Structure 1
Amino acid sequence: MNYNKIEIQFLGAAGTVTGSKYLVTAFGKKILIDCGLFQGLKELRKLNWQPLAVSAITIDIVLLTHAHLDHAGYLPLLVKYGFSGTINSTSPTLQIAEIILKDSAKIQEEDAMRANKFRYSKHKPALPLYGLSEVEKTLPLFQPQLLNEWININEHIRYRFRYNGHIIGATFIELQLGDKTLVFSGDIGREIDPLLFPPDRPEKANILFVEATYGNRLHPAEPAINSLEILINRCMARNGTIIIPSFSVERTQLLMYLFWQLKKTNKIPDIPIYMDSPMGRNVLEVFHRNTDWHKLSTDECSEMCNTIKRIKSVDETFALAEDNTPKIIIAGSGMAAGGRVLTYFEKYLGDENATILLVGFQAEGTRGRALLEGATEIKMRGKFYEVKAHIENIEGLSGHADQNGLIDWMSKLQSKPDKIFIVHSEADGAKGLKKKMQETLGWSSYIPRLNEILHI
Structure 2
Amino acid sequence: METITLKSLGGAGTVTGSKHYLKTPELNILIDCGLFQGIKALREQNWEPLNINIKEIDLIILTHAHLDHCGYIPFLVKSGFKGKIYMTEPTRELAKLILLDSAKLQEEDTEKANYHHYTKHHPAKPLYTINDAERAFKYFYIINENTNIQLSEHIQFRFKPCGHIIGACSIEIVCFGKTIIFSGDIGRNKSAILPPPDFFTTADIIVMESTYGNRLHDNSNLYDKLTYWINSTIKNHGNIIIPSFAVGRTQELIYILYQLKEQNKIPRNLPIVIDSPMAALATDIMIDFAEYTTVKKEKWLEIIQQIDINREYSRTEEIVRNKKSKIIIAGSGMVTGGRVLEYLKHDVGNNKNTVLIVGFQAEGTRGRALLNDSHELKIHGKYYPVKANVVELTGLSAHADQTELIDWIRKYEIPPQKIMLVHGEPSALEALRVKIQTELQISVKILVKDEEVIC
Distance verdict in 2 for CA 1:380–1:116, change over 3 Å: farther
Distance verdict in 2 for CA 1:355–1:439, change over 3 Å: same
Counterpart pick for 1:171 among 169, 172, 176: 169
**Quick one: percent identity of the two aligned structures?**
46
Distance verdict in 2 for CA 1:18–1:58, change over 3 Å: same
Cα offset, 1:127, TM superposition: 3.4
* In structure 2, C-alpha distance between the alignment counterparts of 1:342 and 1:196, rounded to whole Å: 29
Query: Structure 1 residue 394 and structure 2 residue 393: aligned?
Result: yes
3-state SS in 1 of match to 2:346: helix
3-state SS in 2 of match to 1:422: strand
Counterpart pick for 1:145 among 143, 148, 152: 143
Cα offset, 1:120, TM superposition: 4.6
Cα offset, 1:119, TM superposition: 4.5
Q: Which residue of 1 aligns with 2:215?
A: 217
Q: Which residue of 2 aligns with 1:180?
A: 178
| Residue pair 2:418, 2:442 contacting (<8 A) in 1 also | no
Query: Structure 1 residue 284 and structure 2 residue 283: aligned?
Result: yes
For residue 318 of structure 1, what is the amino acid of its counterpart?
Answer: E
* In structure 1, C-alpha distance between the alignment counterparts of 2:114 and 2:380, rounded to whole Å: 11
| Residue pair 1:107, 1:339 contacting (<8 A) in 2 also | no
For residue 275 of structure 1, what is the amino acid of its counterpart?
Answer: I
Distance verdict in 2 for CA 1:125–1:244, change over 3 Å: farther
CA displacement, residues 106-159 of structure 1 (integer Å, 9 cap, x when unaligned): 222223333444455555444333221111111111011001001111111110
3-state SS in 2 of match to 1:281: helix
Q: Higher mean Cα deviation, 336-345 or 61-70? A: 336-345
Which TM-score applies when normalising by structure 1?
0.96
For structure 1, list consecutive stretches of 5 or more residues without a partner in the other structure.
none
Q: Which residue of 2 aligns with 1:45?
A: 43
Q: Which residue of 1 aligns with 2:88?
A: 90
For residue 442 of structure 1, what is the amino acid of its counterpart?
Answer: Q
Cα offset, 1:224, TM superposition: 1.8
CA displacement, residues 375-401 of structure 1 (integer Å, 9 cap, x when unaligned): 222223333333232222111100111
1:4-153 map, 5 Å: 5-121=3-119, 123-153=121-151
Cα offset, 1:239, TM superposition: 1.0
Distance verdict in 2 for CA 1:331–1:131, change over 3 Å: same
CA displacement, residues 53-78 of structure 1 (integer Å, 9 cap, x when unaligned): 11221111000011111111111111
CA displacement, residues 232-279 of structure 1 (integer Å, 9 cap, x when unaligned): 122223211221110011100001001111112221133211001111
CA displacement, residues 356-411 of structure 1 (integer Å, 9 cap, x when unaligned): 21111101011100111122222233333332322221111001111111111112
3-state SS in 2 of match to 1:343: helix
Q: Say how many residue pairs are matched.
A: 454
CA displacement, residues 139-180 of structure 1 (integer Å, 9 cap, x when unaligned): 111011001001111111110000111100000000010111
* In structure 1, C-alpha distance between the alignment counterparts of 2:303 and 2:91, rounded to whole Å: 22
Distance verdict in 2 for CA 1:227–1:90, change over 3 Å: same
| Residue pair 2:26, 2:152 contacting (<8 A) in 1 also | no
* In structure 2, C-alpha distance between the alignment counterparts of 1:427 and 1:231, rounded to whole Å: 32
Provide the aligned C-alpha RMSD in A: 1.5
1:313-352 map, 5 Å: 313-352=312-351
For residue 333 of structure 1, what is the amino acid of its counterpart?
Answer: S
* In structure 1, C-alpha distance between the alignment counterparts of 2:250 and 2:124, rounded to whole Å: 31
Q: Which residue of 2 aligns with 1:448?
A: 447
* In structure 2, C-alpha distance between the alignment counterparts of 1:119 and 1:307, rounded to whole Å: 44
Q: Which residue of 1 aligns with 2:203?
A: 205
* In structure 1, C-alpha distance between the alignment counterparts of 2:301 and 2:256, rounded to whole Å: 14
For residue 299 of structure 2, what is the amino acid of its counterpart?
Answer: E
* In structure 2, C-alpha distance between the alignment counterparts of 1:430 and 1:313, rounded to whole Å: 41
* In structure 1, C-alpha distance between the alignment counterparts of 2:229 and 2:127, rounded to whole Å: 38
Cα offset, 1:284, TM superposition: 1.4
Q: Higher mean Cα deviation, 382-391 or 428-437? A: 382-391
| Residue pair 1:403, 1:433 contacting (<8 A) in 2 also | yes
Query: Structure 1 residue 301 and structure 2 residue 300: aligned?
Result: yes
| Residue pair 1:188, 1:211 contacting (<8 A) in 2 also | yes
| Residue pair 1:272, 1:327 contacting (<8 A) in 2 also | yes
Distance verdict in 2 for CA 1:195–1:135, change over 3 Å: same
CA displacement, residues 309-329 of structure 1 (integer Å, 9 cap, x when unaligned): 100111112221222322111
Q: Which residue of 1 aligns with 2:419?
A: 420
* In structure 1, C-alpha distance between the alignment counterparts of 2:257 and 2:106, rounded to whole Å: 31
CA displacement, residues 213-233 of structure 1 (integer Å, 9 cap, x when unaligned): 111111112132222111212
* In structure 1, C-alpha distance between the alignment counterparts of 2:112 and 2:236, rounded to whole Å: 35
Q: Higher mean Cα deviation, 320-329 or 90-99? A: 320-329
For residue 424 of structure 2, what is the amino acid of its counterpart?
Answer: S
| Residue pair 1:211, 1:425 contacting (<8 A) in 2 also | yes
1:432-447 map, 5 Å: 432-447=431-446
For residue 338 of structure 1, what is the amino acid of its counterpart?
Answer: G
Distance verdict in 2 for CA 1:116–1:232, change over 3 Å: farther
| Residue pair 1:27, 1:157 contacting (<8 A) in 2 also | no
Query: Structure 1 residue 254 and structure 2 residue 252: aligned?
Result: yes
| Residue pair 2:229, 2:354 contacting (<8 A) in 1 also | no
For residue 233 of structure 2, what is the amino acid of its counterpart?
Answer: C
Cα offset, 1:455, TM superposition: 2.1
* In structure 2, C-alpha distance between the alignment counterparts of 1:298 and 1:92, rounded to whole Å: 15
3-state SS in 2 of match to 1:255: helix
Cα offset, 1:23, TM superposition: 0.2
| Residue pair 1:107, 1:338 contacting (<8 A) in 2 also | no
CA displacement, residues 65-105 of structure 1 (integer Å, 9 cap, x when unaligned): 11111111111111111111111110001111111111111
* In structure 2, C-alpha distance between the alignment counterparts of 1:381 and 1:296, rounded to whole Å: 39
For structure 2, list consecutive stretches of 5 or more residues without a partner in the other structure.
none
Q: Which residue of 1 aligns with 2:382?
A: 383
Distance verdict in 2 for CA 1:191–1:12, change over 3 Å: same
* In structure 1, C-alpha distance between the alignment counterparts of 2:384 and 2:155, rounded to whole Å: 53
| Residue pair 2:63, 2:87 contacting (<8 A) in 1 also | yes
* In structure 2, C-alpha distance between the alignment counterparts of 1:79 and 1:11, rounded to whole Å: 16
| Residue pair 1:120, 1:382 contacting (<8 A) in 2 also | no
Counterpart pick for 2:264 among 251, 263, 266: 266
For residue 238 of structure 1, what is the amino acid of its counterpart?
Answer: N
